[in-house]
Chains A and B, each alone.
Chain A
């Protein structure tokens, strides 16, 4: 079963707060994410993972089918949180996806403390109707 694990962060100023961290805090955070991805890859569970540029650079594109599509600048006042990155994993069951998300959530922040990042876990729609 495939799941998308979406990492959300508070919107703040529209830039990543990670920019204000000390170098060793930043390095510890990056190392944690690298280790996590390496582990998922070695388990044969990682389908894909990406980090996203800050929402300050985001654009919303819309089209009604006529004329040029409309392009609006972000960040977007209506959203309190934004997506900072995601993983797609192929795992045995939902519990395993929650466990990975739980691990990712503990990525270290300032002072080396777990950030408790909010991670939304969604099943990827696909073929087999799951039977019990």
Chain B
């Protein structure tokens, strides 16, 4: 459980970092210094109370750490042991007069920087969680089940890449804004997905990456309230996460959408997500995250699986399909068509995907075909596709679901 103090620190982390980077320029060194300041606060505040202006306190401590580093290289080696001892006395932390309130743009620049397209995705994800999310390296390492040293290297390399690329602490130019925002949304979406999928594993001790991604998307939404895609991504996460309590069975197995106990869905979250979608839809331009959120909203608004407004979902997927040439969307469209117009219509749409090299060997194509064959009553034909889907997937919960399905079908055929 997070204490209020930790929560405050995590909120302040990106603001403090942005302010320190703006003042001193060196992103890598600033990031290290802010982590130290956060550690000092986490140790000190519970004992002495939260200072009157916590943000200024952190900036000042981080700035001092940074100048210490600049003065002495050997400080690098000592800092692990001395960090808690160096924290300043309370009377020493009057906010400097030039400390203007946080520029909103700073937090945005920071987010753009951490998700810079020059970084590999794993690097951008790690750096965003640390610099913007305020997580520690061990927390991030355990969330991704890699050794701490590996994650530390990944983060330091990411910072190095930023330094080498020569991207300063400035807002991307208008012509690059779109690509930069895409990259940010993609990184946040990947963090969410990682958490959503991993929530089935033996992961009680791990930081919840879905919750983290929602928090980051909320922050992005606060910074860019007029962006339909940011609203869309936030809504998509909230609406997906709202089903989480019903998503897994007693043994951690996946419960498909149409079999979930909808009474367990988080109604407050659904209301919030639907409102976000509605507002963004009426504001204007509609992008792919917003459309996916709209689809999630249609699902979430159906009190029973059989109440689902499939024709509307088909319509939304049709728009989405025109917008992006993504075979996974075409596959989902085929499922929606099957639900609205019958399995044979859906199966007919799959034929085209068999020729698409991006998806023809993907387990999802086999899984969908198996499912539609089963729905059409041809259980015998469905079995080999369930088998091959179970063989191809790299997701353990997914495989277990498919194997269980297979075992039930076989049992049905035998009796």
**Across the interface, do A127 and B197 meet the contact criterion of CB distance under 8 Å?**
yes
Given the contacts A126-B396, A127-B201, A132-B328, A47 and B194 also touching, CB distance less than 8 Å: no
Nearest 6 interchain pairs by C-beta: A44-B154, A127-B198, A128-B197, A44-B153, A127-B197, A129-B395
**Residue in A43, A47, A132 whose beta carbon sits within 8 Å of that of B327 in the complex:** A132
**Residue in B126, B147, B395 whose beta carbon sits within 8 Å of that of A125 in the complex:** B395
- A interface residues, Cβ below 8 angstroms from B: 1, 41-48, 90-92, 123-132
Q: CB of B375 within 8 A of chain A? A: no
**Across the interface, do A44 and B155 meet the contact criterion of CB distance under 8 Å?**
yes
Give bound CA distance, A30 to B396, whole Å. Answer: 36
Given A43-B153, A132-B362, 14 additional A-B pairs, CB 8 A = A1-B394, A43-B154, A43-B157, A44-B126, A44-B152, A46-B147, A90-B150, A91-B122, A92-B120, A92-B122, A125-B394, A129-B364, A129-B394, A132-B358
Q: CB of B142 within 8 A of chain A? A: no
**Across the interface, do A44 and B123 meet the contact criterion of CB distance under 8 Å?**
yes
Q: CB of B261 within 8 A of chain A? A: no
**Across the interface, do A48 and B147 meet the contact criterion of CB distance under 8 Å?**
yes
B149's nearest neighbour on chain A, judged by CB, is A41
**Across the interface, do A41 and B193 meet the contact criterion of CB distance under 8 Å?**
no
Cβ distance B394 to chain A, nearest Cβ, rounded Å = 5
Cβ distance B208 to chain A, nearest Cβ, rounded Å = 13
**Across the interface, do B150 and A132 meet the contact criterion of CB distance under 8 Å?**
no
**Across the interface, do A131 and B150 meet the contact criterion of CB distance under 8 Å?**
no
**Across the interface, do B122 and A47 meet the contact criterion of CB distance under 8 Å?**
no
**Across the interface, do B153 and A42 meet the contact criterion of CB distance under 8 Å?**
yes
Residues of chain B within 8 A of A91, CB atoms compared: 122
**Across the interface, do B197 and A129 meet the contact criterion of CB distance under 8 Å?**
yes
Cβ distance A44 to chain B, nearest Cβ, rounded Å = 3
**Interface residues contributed by chain B, number (CB under 8 Å):** 39
Give bound CA distance, A42 to B156, whole Å. Answer: 9
Q: CB of B151 within 8 A of chain A? A: yes
Residues of chain A within 8 A of B145, CB atoms compared: 126
Give bound CA distance, A45 to B326, whole Å. Answer: 28
Q: CB of B200 within 8 A of chain A? A: yes
**Across the interface, do A46 and B150 meet the contact criterion of CB distance under 8 Å?**
yes
Give bound CA distance, A37 to B280, whole Å. Answer: 49
**Across the interface, do B394 and A130 meet the contact criterion of CB distance under 8 Å?**
yes
Residues of chain A within 8 A of B32, CB atoms compared: none
Residues of chain A within 8 A of B201, CB atoms compared: 126-127
Residues of chain A within 8 A of B121, CB atoms compared: 92
**Residue in A42, A45, A132 whose beta carbon sits within 8 Å of that of B359 in the complex:** A132
Residues of chain B within 8 A of A1, CB atoms compared: 394
Give bound CA distance, A131 to B364, whole Å. Answer: 9
**Across the interface, do A90 and B396 meet the contact criterion of CB distance under 8 Å?**
no
**Across the interface, do B122 and A90 meet the contact criterion of CB distance under 8 Å?**
yes
Residues of chain B within 8 A of A130, CB atoms compared: 394-395
Provide the B75-102 mask, 1 if CB < 8 A to any CB of A, else 0. Answer: 0000000000000000000000000000
**Across the interface, do A127 and B395 meet the contact criterion of CB distance under 8 Å?**
yes
**Across the interface, do B157 and A44 meet the contact criterion of CB distance under 8 Å?**
yes
Cβ distance B88 to chain A, nearest Cβ, rounded Å = 33
**Across the interface, do B396 and A125 meet the contact criterion of CB distance under 8 Å?**
yes
Q: CB of B130 within 8 A of chain A? A: no
Residues of chain A within 8 A of B123, CB atoms compared: 44
Residues of chain A within 8 A of B393, CB atoms compared: 129
Q: Which of B146, B358, B393, B396 has the most CB of A within 10 A?
A: B146
Q: CB of B399 within 8 A of chain A? A: yes
Q: Which of B150, B155, B198 has the most CB of A within 10 A?
A: B150
**Across the interface, do A127 and B200 meet the contact criterion of CB distance under 8 Å?**
yes
Cβ distance B334 to chain A, nearest Cβ, rounded Å = 15
Cβ distance A102 to chain B, nearest Cβ, rounded Å = 18
**Across the interface, do A42 and B398 meet the contact criterion of CB distance under 8 Å?**
no
Give bound CA distance, A1 to B394, whole Å. Answer: 10
Give bound CA distance, A44 to B127, whole Å. Answer: 12
Cβ distance B231 to chain A, nearest Cβ, rounded Å = 21
Q: CB of B144 within 8 A of chain A? A: yes
